Structure 1
């Protein structure tokens, strides 16, 4: 089975604003993940770096 090549994308200002809004609105991480097309892990890691809560971190 061939491995998928990892592609990292930079976070845009619009994506950061969206993430902060979802944090404030307490949107489930799975829903945010589908909308932003990023993994739950990537969202949680970015939220941790920004100092905002997501999901179970509240």
Structure 2
């Protein structure tokens, strides 16, 4: 499996940040967020941390 490098090294646009916030609020896994935004998981973690966005899953029952 290859990593998407589409936006690697580029600045985050306002649309990227808005989508990051939306996906994080929907409990989307970090890996999926990275794929949707064309960023690495590390880049997603770094930007979320910079913006104070939690990527921890919330309200998830272990029983589905």
TM-score (ref. length: structure 2): 0.72
Stretches (4+) displaced over 6 A: none
* Structure 1: gaps of 5 or more residues: 1-6
Cα contact 1:29–1:55 (8 A) shared by 2: no
User: 1:12 & 1:50 partners in 2: Cα distance?
Assistant: 13
Aligned match of 1:44: 45
Q: CA RMSD in A?
A: 1.6
Which residues in structure 2 correspond to 1:5-16 (within 5 Å)?
A: 8-16=9-17
Q: Runs of 5+ in structure 2 lacking a partner?
A: 1-7, 59-64
Tell me how many residue pairs correspond in the alignment: 51
In structure 2, what is the Cα distance between the partners aligned to 1:53 and 1:31? Answer: 15
